[in-house]
């Protein structure tokens, strides 16, 4: 699946987009997997209350199932307008 990152999440992880293989069932499982992988993910996801998630470009909850998701995005609360 494709992972995409925006704003300071992108800066902390150090890339805007990457493709990974994962068996994670939910967003929370995926985050746990990433955090265990490398310190930069651990840092980016240390406070999940500051993170928003979109699955295939729809805002989703952290405990949302991933079943077949092609693209998962992580970003801070949005500040448009």
Phi and psi at residue 50, to the nearest 5°: -100, 10
Q: Report the residue number, 32 or 59, with the smaller CB distance to other proteins.
A: 59
d(CA 11, CA 30): 19
Residues at the contact surface with other proteins, assessed by CB under 8 A? 4, 6-8, 54, 57-59, 73, 75-81
| 50's tokens | 């500051």
d(CA 36, CA 8): 20
Q: Report the residue number, 68 or 77, with the smaller CB distance to other proteins.
A: 77
Q: In whole angstroms, how close is the CB of 63 to other proteins at the nearest point?
A: 20
Q: Report the residue number, 39 or 80, with the smaller CB distance to other proteins.
A: 80
d(CA 66, CA 30): 9
């Amino acid at each position: 699946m494709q992972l995409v990152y925006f704003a300071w999440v992108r800066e902390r992880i150090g890339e805007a987009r990457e493709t990974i293989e994962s068996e994670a069932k939910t967003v929370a499982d995926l985050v746990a997997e990433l955090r265990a992988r490398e310190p930069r993910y651990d840092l980016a996801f240390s406070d999940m209350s500051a993170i928003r998630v979109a699955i295939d470009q729809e805002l989703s909850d952290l405990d949302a199932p991933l079943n077949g998701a092609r693209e998962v995005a992580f970003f801070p609360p949005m500040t448009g307008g």
